[in-house]
């Protein structure tokens, strides 16, 4: 009897080890595919670098032309370094949908049918909101940049470095894209029962204070104009989230 029980325990442990090895093998395969996606995206970013550079520098270029100025490079290899950095970031951005798909395919077998149905609705909403945040940042950034440039001393010539300018704009795009995920986050918290629409509605004053703190923390410049441009859409998204949370509750 004891021998039979021992054999069952060994079989169960062996089965768990095999299952763990299968999971590790699947994780490794999906990680390799994610690296391939990022590499292909980087090649695309390198090949179309001129287009992406114009897209990223568009919020600053009108002011440079108006002031008869230009970007500044301070090192021999700085142009190559900037091109490599931009290509890598563009590659990651282009590969992100495919990486998300790999993650979804990995976790979906462990979800119930209802959870998979909910995720199918949330995932596209997350992508749409991220793109919306980037598009909004593209249109409102010139206003913030104009105000920041107006604070320069009148005797100083405005010649920003390429690296600092592109990183500033990329951070702003990323910040707007991330904060636009707030409805998705609140819908998830409502789905697991941590928040509800009544709680969000009654705590709107505290939410506005929290939004101001978040905007001050994630904006690269920290100036009042840029913070305001981020706070207003975040407040609108918070109000929209109350309605979305009601739908999740139902």
pLDDT per residue of the chain (250 residues) written in tens, 0 to 9: 555 545 554 555 555 565 667 777 888 888 899 899 999 999 999 999 989 888 888 888 888 888 888 888 888 888 898 899 889 888 888 887 788 777 777 776 766 676 666 666 676 777 888 888 888 888 888 888 888 888 888 888 888 888 888 888 888 887 888 888 888 888 777 776 777 888 888 888 888 888 888 877 777 656 677 777 778 888 888 888 888 788 766 6
Could you tell me if residue 240 is inside a domain? no
- DSSP code per residue over 29-75: HHHHHHHHHHHHHHHHHHHTHHHHHHHHHTTTHHHHHHTT---B--S
In a domain, 60, yes or no: yes
Q: Considering the domain boundaries, does residue 233 fall inside one?
A: no
| Residue 38 lies inside a defined structural domain of this protein | yes
- For 48, the domain range is 2-180
Q: Does the residue 227 lie in any domain? A: no
Is 140 inside any structural domain? yes
Residue 75 lies in a domain: yes
- How many separate domains does the chain show? 1
3-state secondary structure of 161: strand
Find all residues with CB under 8 Å of 97, minimum gap 6, and list them: 127
Helical H runs in the chain?
2-47, 49-57, 61-66, 78-107, 113-150, 162-179, 182-191, 197-202, 204-218, 224-249
Query: Is residue 237, in this structure, part of any structural domain at all?
Result: no
């Amino acid at each position: 009897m004891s021998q039979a029980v021992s054999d069952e325990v060994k079989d169960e442990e062996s089965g768990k080890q095999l299952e763990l090895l299968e999971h590790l093998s699947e994780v490794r395969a999906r990680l390799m595919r994610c690296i391939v996606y990022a590499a292909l995206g980087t090649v695309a970013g390198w090949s179309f670098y001129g287009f992406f550079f114009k897209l990223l520098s568009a919020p600053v270029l009108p002011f440079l032309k108006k002031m008869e100025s230009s970007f500044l490079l301070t090192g021999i290899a700085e142009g190559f370094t900037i091109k490599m950095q931009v290509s890598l970031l563009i590659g990651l951005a282009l590969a992100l949908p495919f990486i998300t798909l790999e993650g979804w395919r990995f976790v979906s077998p462990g979800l119930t049918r209802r959870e998979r149905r909910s995720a199918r609705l949330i995932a596209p909403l997350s992508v749409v909101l991220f793109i919306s945040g980037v598009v909004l940042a593209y249109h409102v950034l010139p206003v913030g940049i104009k105000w920041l440039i107006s604070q320069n001393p009148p005797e100083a010539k405005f010649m920003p470095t390429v690296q600092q300018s592109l990183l500033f704009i990329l951070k702003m795009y990323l910040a707007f894209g991330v904060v636009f995920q707030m409805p998705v986050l609140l819908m998830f918290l409502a789905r697991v029962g941590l928040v509800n629409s009544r709680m969000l509605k009654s705590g709107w004053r505290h939410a506005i204070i929290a939004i101001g703190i978040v905007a001050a923390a994630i904006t690269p410049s920290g100036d009042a104009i840029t913070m305001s441009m981020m706070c207003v859409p975040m407040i609108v998204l918070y109000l929209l989230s109350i309605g979305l949370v009601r739908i999740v509750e139902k």
